[in-house]
Structure 1
Amino acid sequence: MVQLSNALMALLAAASASSAVSLQKRVVQQTPDSTLQWMQACTTASGGDVCNTVSQVSATTLLATASVCDQQDAADTMIDVAKTLKSNPDMIRLAQIFVQQPRDAADGLQVPHCQKGPRNTELHGLYHCQFASSDFTKFSGDQKGNLPPNITAVNPPGSCPALNSPVPDGVQLYTLVSSPGAPSGWVSPLHF
């Protein structure tokens, strides 16, 4: 019986050690909180039911399962709605901050950046920060999108135009900043 217990203990210890190596730190947040201020500004501007719908859909784009450009597309929609409400400047500012909110990282790595331009010029040159405990040596996925378009380096790593540092884990960017910052490296295409 003692030998079985020792063998069982050794097996459990080995299983524990091998699973510890494969565990990766998840970095997550309360995504519904990310759009609360935008929804309040939209409601105040008489946006009606569309405010809640856009807010809920936008919050899901911060989940680790979202596609790489979903967050930017959601911010474009937030600005589209703001433009229907007399180009509400508070809604536009909050959409600009939202597009820079870090996304959840199920594997603890940096989340790649969208490689297409936004529809709305108000979002040009804005890209998401990373959470502070992200591994700044690697990105999730296929290693495409490690830099935002037209940017040669994100310095310091994990920062974004609104905040010159990574965002503390799980914190909403709008609680740290009130301005979206200056767009980085965006060169507007020429229109003839």
Structure 2
Amino acid sequence: MLPGFEAPPPVPVHRFFFAVMPDPATAARIAGLAESMRLEKDRPVGTERLHITLGSLGDFAYVPGATLARARAVADRMDVPSFSVRFDKIISFNGRAGHQPLVLVGRAGLENLIDFRRQLRRALKQEAGLSMLPTGFTPHVTLLYGAQRPDEYRIEPITWTVFDFVLIDSWLGKSYYDVLERWPLTTGNASG
């Protein structure tokens, strides 16, 4: 290459992340709640895309086969019992103007989810040398993107049992997800 004519770095088009998703009945209830909160220019998250992000493996311009293989191998070995999650409040997260996420959060009932994420994050690091980002974690389900809401809203709790977790390929800028793989949690006490 001639100096000054270097190719620009490829633009990331994929974000790979682990998540848990609500069952169809709970997803429909959450989508109905999002619709009831919707203002004119808000963009609700599609029912099939509702999830709790556990953490991202990163943004990529290509499908990182070796990275995904290592992540899948760790996921194959996870041995965690199913657990319940509970959300009882709606708040706005910060975002760019007109694109603030309106999210479900909970005050209690998320301890087992937080512990599962900690176990997955540690296993990815120790067994596969992979970092799961971000390091901080505020469990939430994004309902829609839109105008900032000044208040928080208490709601009748939304609870579901998490029976599995997934690896998702999010097509950046496309509002489209591919669920690449799903791993069952072990049956047992669905406490939480």
The TM-score bracket by the shorter chain reads under 0.3
- Specify the structure having the higher radius of gyration (Cα): 1
**Higher RCO, 1 vs 2 (CA within 8 Å, ≥6 residues apart):** 2
TM-score by length of 1: 0.27
Q: Which has the higher strand share?
A: 2
What TM-score, normalized to structure 2? 0.27
